[in-house]
A and B are shown apart, each in its own frame.
Chain A
Amino acid sequence: MPGEIGLEEVRRLLDEDYGQLVEVLPEREYQEEHLPGAISLSLKTLTDETAAVLDRSRPVIVYCWDDG
Protein backbone atom coordinates (compact mmCIF):
# COMPACT_ATOMS: atom_id res chain seq x y z
CA MET A 1 0.00 0.00 0.00
CA PRO A 2 1.59 3.34 -1.01
CA GLY A 3 2.42 5.51 1.99
CA GLU A 4 1.28 9.11 2.24
CA ILE A 5 4.14 11.44 3.10
CA GLY A 6 4.63 15.14 3.77
CA LEU A 7 7.21 17.65 2.64
CA GLU A 8 9.75 16.82 5.36
CA GLU A 9 9.80 13.14 4.45
CA VAL A 10 9.99 13.96 0.75
CA ARG A 11 13.11 16.02 1.34
CA ARG A 12 14.63 13.30 3.50
CA LEU A 13 14.03 10.65 0.84
CA LEU A 14 15.57 12.93 -1.80
CA ASP A 15 18.58 13.81 0.32
CA GLU A 16 19.32 10.47 1.97
CA ASP A 17 17.76 7.72 -0.10
CA TYR A 18 18.04 8.76 -3.77
CA GLY A 19 14.28 9.27 -4.03
CA GLN A 20 12.82 9.72 -7.52
CA LEU A 21 10.17 12.37 -8.04
CA VAL A 22 7.38 11.66 -10.50
CA GLU A 23 4.91 14.35 -11.53
CA VAL A 24 1.63 12.85 -12.74
CA LEU A 25 0.04 16.07 -14.01
CA PRO A 26 -0.42 16.64 -17.75
CA GLU A 27 2.80 17.15 -19.73
CA ARG A 28 2.12 20.86 -20.37
CA GLU A 29 1.91 21.63 -16.64
CA TYR A 30 5.09 19.66 -16.07
CA GLN A 31 6.91 21.63 -18.76
CA GLU A 32 5.88 24.94 -17.21
CA GLU A 33 6.91 24.10 -13.66
CA HIS A 34 7.96 20.98 -11.80
CA LEU A 35 9.97 19.97 -8.77
CA PRO A 36 13.74 19.79 -9.36
CA GLY A 37 14.76 16.57 -11.03
CA ALA A 38 11.21 15.27 -11.37
CA ILE A 39 10.22 13.21 -14.37
CA SER A 40 6.84 13.40 -16.04
CA LEU A 41 4.64 10.32 -16.12
CA SER A 42 1.03 11.32 -16.48
CA LEU A 43 -1.54 8.94 -15.07
CA LYS A 44 -2.92 8.25 -18.54
CA THR A 45 0.44 7.14 -19.89
CA LEU A 46 1.61 5.13 -16.89
CA THR A 47 2.46 1.64 -18.16
CA ASP A 48 5.17 -0.93 -17.64
CA GLU A 49 7.03 0.55 -20.60
CA THR A 50 6.86 4.22 -19.56
CA ALA A 51 7.68 3.34 -15.94
CA ALA A 52 10.84 1.59 -17.10
CA VAL A 53 12.71 4.90 -16.71
CA LEU A 54 12.41 4.47 -12.93
CA ASP A 55 14.89 2.58 -10.79
CA ARG A 56 12.92 -0.08 -8.91
CA SER A 57 15.48 -0.25 -6.11
CA ARG A 58 14.98 3.40 -5.12
CA PRO A 59 11.97 5.11 -3.52
CA VAL A 60 9.45 6.63 -5.94
CA ILE A 61 7.62 9.78 -4.83
CA VAL A 62 4.57 10.67 -6.90
CA TYR A 63 2.87 14.04 -6.70
CA CYS A 64 0.30 16.23 -8.40
CA TRP A 65 -0.93 19.69 -7.36
CA ASP A 66 -2.28 18.94 -3.92
CA ASP A 67 -4.42 16.34 -2.21
CA GLY A 68 -7.66 17.65 -3.73
Chain B
Amino acid sequence: MSPRAAWRLETLGFERVHDFVGGKLEWLVAGLPTEGTGPHHAVAGEVVMPATFVCGLGTLSGVVRSKLRAGSDSVCAVTNEEKIVLGRVRWRDLPDADDVPVEDFMQPGPATVRTIEQLGPLVGRMQETGVKTILVTDAKGRLLGMLHRGDAERLLNERP
Protein backbone atom coordinates (compact mmCIF):
# COMPACT_ATOMS: atom_id res chain seq x y z
CA MET B 1 0.00 0.00 0.00
CA SER B 2 2.72 2.49 0.92
CA PRO B 3 4.64 2.07 -2.40
CA ARG B 4 1.48 3.11 -4.27
CA ALA B 5 0.99 6.07 -1.96
CA ALA B 6 4.61 7.11 -2.50
CA TRP B 7 4.16 6.98 -6.26
CA ARG B 8 0.90 8.89 -5.96
CA LEU B 9 2.63 11.66 -4.03
CA GLU B 10 5.30 11.88 -6.70
CA THR B 11 2.66 12.29 -9.38
CA LEU B 12 1.25 15.12 -7.27
CA GLY B 13 4.59 16.87 -7.53
CA PHE B 14 6.36 15.88 -4.30
CA GLU B 15 10.07 15.42 -4.99
CA ARG B 16 11.40 13.97 -1.73
CA VAL B 17 9.22 10.92 -1.10
CA HIS B 18 10.41 7.78 0.69
CA ASP B 19 8.70 4.46 1.36
CA PHE B 20 9.42 3.08 4.85
CA VAL B 21 9.53 -0.59 3.89
CA GLY B 22 9.35 -2.07 7.40
CA GLY B 23 6.45 0.19 8.33
CA LYS B 24 4.63 0.26 11.62
CA LEU B 25 5.59 -3.31 12.36
CA GLU B 26 9.35 -2.67 12.27
CA TRP B 27 8.84 0.42 14.43
CA LEU B 28 6.94 -1.63 17.04
CA VAL B 29 9.42 -4.51 17.00
CA ALA B 30 12.20 -1.99 17.68
CA GLY B 31 10.31 -0.97 20.84
CA LEU B 32 9.87 2.63 19.73
CA PRO B 33 7.01 4.75 21.11
CA THR B 34 3.71 5.24 19.32
CA GLU B 35 0.71 7.51 19.68
CA GLY B 36 -3.01 6.82 19.49
CA THR B 37 -6.09 5.89 21.43
CA GLY B 38 -5.29 2.18 21.53
CA PRO B 39 -5.86 -0.65 22.03
CA HIS B 40 -2.25 -1.42 21.18
CA HIS B 41 -2.52 -4.98 19.96
CA ALA B 42 0.51 -7.25 19.96
CA VAL B 43 0.91 -8.76 16.48
CA ALA B 44 2.48 -11.91 15.10
CA GLY B 45 5.37 -10.06 13.50
CA GLU B 46 6.74 -9.18 16.93
CA VAL B 47 7.60 -12.80 17.74
CA VAL B 48 8.56 -14.26 14.36
CA MET B 49 11.71 -16.34 14.48
CA PRO B 50 13.81 -17.12 11.41
CA ALA B 51 13.34 -20.63 10.05
CA THR B 52 16.59 -22.44 10.81
CA PHE B 53 15.94 -25.18 8.25
CA VAL B 54 13.75 -25.08 5.15
CA CYS B 55 13.42 -27.92 2.67
CA GLY B 56 12.26 -28.30 -0.93
CA LEU B 57 9.93 -30.82 -2.54
CA GLY B 58 12.86 -33.02 -3.54
CA THR B 59 14.71 -32.97 -0.23
CA LEU B 60 15.10 -36.53 1.04
CA SER B 61 13.72 -37.73 4.34
CA GLY B 62 17.20 -38.61 5.62
CA VAL B 63 18.34 -35.02 5.13
CA VAL B 64 15.29 -33.67 6.94
CA ARG B 65 15.91 -36.11 9.80
CA SER B 66 19.51 -34.92 10.15
CA LYS B 67 18.61 -31.21 10.13
CA LEU B 68 15.30 -31.03 11.98
CA ARG B 69 15.36 -30.89 15.75
CA ALA B 70 14.05 -34.18 17.05
CA GLY B 71 10.70 -33.92 18.83
CA SER B 72 7.04 -34.40 18.13
CA ASP B 73 6.43 -30.63 17.89
CA SER B 74 9.31 -29.99 15.51
CA VAL B 75 8.26 -28.53 12.15
CA CYS B 76 9.95 -27.30 8.99
CA ALA B 77 8.54 -25.41 6.02
CA VAL B 78 8.63 -26.70 2.46
CA THR B 79 9.21 -23.92 -0.06
CA ASN B 80 10.10 -23.44 -3.72
CA GLU B 81 12.97 -21.35 -5.12
CA GLU B 82 10.89 -18.19 -4.60
CA LYS B 83 10.43 -19.02 -0.90
CA ILE B 84 6.71 -19.62 -1.49
CA VAL B 85 5.32 -22.00 1.14
CA LEU B 86 4.15 -25.27 -0.43
CA GLY B 87 3.82 -27.43 2.64
CA ARG B 88 5.22 -28.36 6.00
CA VAL B 89 6.84 -31.43 7.52
CA ARG B 90 6.43 -32.47 11.14
CA TRP B 91 8.96 -34.71 12.84
CA ARG B 92 6.27 -37.34 13.28
CA ASP B 93 5.54 -37.34 9.51
CA LEU B 94 9.04 -38.58 8.68
CA PRO B 95 9.06 -42.08 7.16
CA ASP B 96 11.51 -44.68 8.43
CA ALA B 97 13.37 -44.78 5.14
CA ASP B 98 15.94 -42.07 4.35
CA ASP B 99 15.35 -41.84 0.60
CA VAL B 100 11.77 -40.57 0.39
CA PRO B 101 11.28 -37.10 -1.17
CA VAL B 102 9.51 -34.55 0.99
CA GLU B 103 6.74 -34.21 -1.59
CA ASP B 104 5.57 -37.74 -0.68
CA PHE B 105 5.06 -37.13 3.04
CA MET B 106 4.63 -33.38 3.60
CA GLN B 107 1.35 -31.74 4.57
CA PRO B 108 0.42 -29.57 1.56
CA GLY B 109 -1.13 -26.13 1.97
CA PRO B 110 -0.49 -25.59 5.69
CA ALA B 111 -2.13 -22.78 7.62
CA THR B 112 -0.06 -19.61 7.60
CA VAL B 113 -0.47 -16.19 9.18
CA ARG B 114 0.62 -12.67 8.26
CA THR B 115 2.82 -10.50 10.45
CA ILE B 116 -0.09 -8.15 11.17
CA GLU B 117 -2.27 -10.89 12.66
CA GLN B 118 -3.37 -9.93 16.18
CA LEU B 119 -1.54 -12.16 18.61
CA GLY B 120 -4.25 -12.62 21.27
CA PRO B 121 -6.90 -14.26 19.05
CA LEU B 122 -4.21 -16.19 17.16
CA VAL B 123 -2.78 -17.71 20.34
CA GLY B 124 -6.32 -18.54 21.46
CA ARG B 125 -6.92 -20.49 18.25
CA MET B 126 -3.55 -22.23 18.54
CA GLN B 127 -4.34 -23.27 22.11
CA GLU B 128 -7.76 -24.60 21.16
CA THR B 129 -6.36 -26.69 18.32
CA GLY B 130 -3.14 -27.74 20.05
CA VAL B 131 -0.92 -26.03 17.47
CA LYS B 132 2.49 -25.07 18.83
CA THR B 133 4.15 -23.62 15.72
CA ILE B 134 2.72 -21.80 12.70
CA LEU B 135 4.38 -20.49 9.55
CA VAL B 136 4.45 -16.75 8.89
CA THR B 137 4.39 -15.42 5.34
CA ASP B 138 4.08 -12.14 3.50
CA ALA B 139 1.06 -11.28 1.36
CA LYS B 140 2.47 -13.24 -1.56
CA GLY B 141 2.97 -16.41 0.48
CA ARG B 142 6.74 -16.07 0.89
CA LEU B 143 8.08 -17.56 4.10
CA LEU B 144 9.18 -14.99 6.68
CA GLY B 145 9.72 -17.35 9.61
CA MET B 146 8.01 -19.38 12.32
CA LEU B 147 5.85 -18.31 15.21
CA HIS B 148 6.19 -20.48 18.32
CA ARG B 149 3.18 -20.37 20.63
CA GLY B 150 5.37 -20.27 23.74
CA ASP B 151 7.08 -17.06 22.55
CA ALA B 152 3.69 -15.51 21.78
CA GLU B 153 2.27 -16.48 25.18
CA ARG B 154 5.26 -14.91 26.91
CA LEU B 155 4.81 -11.64 25.01
CA LEU B 156 1.09 -11.56 25.81
CA ASN B 157 1.85 -12.11 29.49
CA GLU B 158 4.24 -9.17 29.45
CA ARG B 159 2.05 -6.92 27.27
CA PRO B 160 -1.52 -8.19 26.93
| Contact in complex: A65, B25 (CB < 8 Å) | yes
The complex places the Cα of A43 from the Cα of B19 at a distance, in Å, of: 13
Query: Closest residue of chain B to A17, judged by CB?
Result: B16
Shortest CB-to-CB span from A28 to chain B, Å, is 10
The complex places the Cα of A34 from the Cα of B16 at a distance, in Å, of: 21
| Contact in complex: A48, B19 (CB < 8 Å) | no
| Contact in complex: B18, A56 (CB < 8 Å) | no
> Pick the contact of A43 from B1, B24, B114 — CB < 8 Å?
B1
Shortest CB-to-CB span from B111 to chain A, Å, is 17
Shortest CB-to-CB span from B78 to chain A, Å, is 21
Q: Which of A1-37 contact B (CB under 8 A)?
A: 1-7, 9-10, 13, 19, 21-25, 30-37
Task: Count chain B residues whose beta carbon lies closer than 8 angstroms to a beta carbon of A.
Answer: 44
- The verdict on A36 contacting B18 (CB below 8 Å), with A7-B27, A43-B5 known, is no
| Contact in complex: B24, A63 (CB < 8 Å) | yes
| Contact in complex: A56, B27 (CB < 8 Å) | no
Residues of B within 8 A of A9 (CB): 18
The complex places the Cα of A6 from the Cα of B29 at a distance, in Å, of: 13
Query: Closest residue of chain A to B38, judged by CB?
Result: A32
B18-39 near A? 1/0 per residue, CB < 8 Å: 1111111111001011111111
The complex places the Cα of A51 from the Cα of B15 at a distance, in Å, of: 13
Q: Does B97 contact A (CB under 8 A)?
A: no
The complex places the Cα of A59 from the Cα of B7 at a distance, in Å, of: 14
Interface residues of B (CB under 8 A from A): 1-10, 12-27, 30, 32-41, 45, 114-116, 138-140
